[in-house]
Amino acid sequence: MKFGIASSRPLLALALTAVFASFASAQHPVAPGLSSNPGARYNIFLNFSGFDYEGTWGGGTPGNVQAYTQDEDASTFNPDEIGAIKETWARVSQAFVGFNINVTTVDPAPSNLNDAQRKAFYDNKQYMTHTIIGGGYDWFGPAGGVSYVGVAQQGTTAFGMRTNWVFPVNGTGTTPKYMTAAIIHEDGHHLSLNHQSDEANGDGYSSNNGASGDGSYAPIMGVAYYSQRGTWRAGTNGLNANDVLDLQNNLDIGSLIDSGIGHSIGTATDLAVTSEGAVVSADAQGWIMPLESTGYSPDSYTKDYFKFNSGGGQLSLTAHDGTQFLQSGVADPGATMRSVLRILDANGNVLGVATEDSTTLVHNWTGLLSAGTYFAEVSSYGAYVSSYEGGSRYFNMGAYFLSGTGFAPVPEPATMLVIASGVGLVLRRRRSK
């Protein structure tokens, strides 16, 4: 097993303007407690609260690393910092949606341990990563972050190997998008992924030829600071131990997790709607995962199907790419997938394809439907092959949720209505006594 150290590139433009803030307190400020998938086999612990690191790491001496801070007071988190922590957690969680992974800000170590004891606890805790987001890279050398490679699945490690680093002070800057690009890159290393090199010019890091703007994408294991989306990617050269399916198969972290939404018309999930005919976004969400490493088409991914009724009239349905961890019905920043939404009739014939807004990654279909039963199909756009690096394959995978109006409620079976009303009567009688 490889135990090399690998780092992400620093954002040099930001590095020039940043100043190393002084450490204000030995006490750690407490970050909001957030968990994306409690009970998952593998934990990524995002530590924004600072860490007094005893000893050396990778030949450097981290020392007493300050908490994440924007205002140079690392003793507390101000509201902007709390907001940035939440957004960063949501972005990192999104990148690992569908894996048997819990992204959390809750320390898995017992609360009575000091930092030296915590470091040892993490080294002996299989299936976890302790990612410190704080301080600068001065103790290590210019980088956005740094990690050991392929240690996450080891039964025990030593010398703080289960801890890895992201450097907001002078490596990534303090912006959630940039910190996230480094966090998921370093945690990819921890999970065994190597760098995605630029296969066209031989550079060690691919940025997909500097892709930026709407519709752009770049590999998480390369440089994804500047593109609209960072995506998992399978490469073709000797460095390409960076296939997400290999990752989940080889790391013993369990298979990709199913979203629980029906994957065929026959098993379609009833679309949750209110009595006013609006989609309940919190109950209409899922994620699309690759079924194979070699396929490029949407058929190489799971597809999710929702069944709905129209009472006749105008209907609007929207698929939002991304998670909704921070606010139900609102897409968190940092979507990893570009989806396709189709409206199907009762026989599965395609009636319409949603129009995409490439800036927001929102897909809307609005139209008139006669009364009846229909289906909504959410699929991946399919893998990308970059025109720049012909052997590349970018997975188009990740979370989505639905919103919409104009739906007729799904009728309950008559017997259920009778039972429901009977229960209601009993309860009312009891209350009136």
Residues at the site binding Zn ion, with contacts judged by CB under 5 A:
6, 8
Comparison of 183 and 361: residue with beta carbon closer to Zn ion: 183
Comparison of 145 and 277: residue with beta carbon closer to Zn ion: 145
Nearest-approach distance from CB 206 to Zn ion, in angstroms? 12
In angstroms, rounded to a whole number, what is the distance separating the alpha carbons of residues 375 and 271?
9
Nearest-approach distance from CB 243 to Zn ion, in angstroms? 16
- Among candidates 95, 167, 94, 160, which has minimal Cα distance to 137? 167
Nearest-approach distance from CB 185 to Zn ion, in angstroms? 5
Comparison of 6 and 337: residue with beta carbon closer to Zn ion: 6
Nearest-approach distance from CB 150 to Zn ion, in angstroms? 12
In angstroms, rounded to a whole number, what is the distance separating the alpha carbons of residues 292 and 294?
6
Nearest-approach distance from CB 162 to Zn ion, in angstroms? 17
Provide the 8-state DSSP code for 144: S
Nearest-approach distance from CB 146 to Zn ion, in angstroms? 8
In angstroms, rounded to a whole number, what is the distance separating the alpha carbons of residues 151 and 136?
23
Which position's Cβ is nearest Zn ion?
6
Nearest-approach distance from CB 267 to Zn ion, in angstroms? 40
Nearest-approach distance from CB 189 to Zn ion, in angstroms? 6
Comparison of 55 and 204: residue with beta carbon closer to Zn ion: 204
In angstroms, rounded to a whole number, what is the distance separating the alpha carbons of residues 191 and 282?
30
Which secondary structure element, helix H or strand E, spans residue 180, and what is its range? helix 176-190
Residue 275 to residues 234, 283, 406, 422, Cα–Cα distance (Å): 45, 14, 11, 20
Comparison of 196 and 302: residue with beta carbon closer to Zn ion: 196
Residue 421 to residues 225, 272, 276, 416, 429, Cα–Cα distance (Å): 56, 21, 20, 9, 12
The DSSP secondary structure of 46-115, one letter per residue, reads EE-S-EEE-S-BTTB--EEEPPP-SSS-TTS--HHHHHHHHHHHHHHHHHTTTSSEEEESS--S-TT--H
Comparison of 6 and 128: residue with beta carbon closer to Zn ion: 6
- Among candidates 402, 409, 361, 365, which has minimal Cα distance to 259? 402
Nearest-approach distance from CB 221 to Zn ion, in angstroms? 7
Comparison of 8 and 207: residue with beta carbon closer to Zn ion: 8
Comparison of 140 and 305: residue with beta carbon closer to Zn ion: 140
* Six token digits for residue 94: 């999104």
Three-class SS state of 292: coil
How many other CB atoms are found less than 10 A from the CB of residue 362? 20
Residues with Cβ within 8 Å of 418's Cβ and at least 6 positions away in sequence, in order, are none
Comparison of 6 and 376: residue with beta carbon closer to Zn ion: 6
Backbone angles phi, psi at 200, to 5 degrees: -90, -40
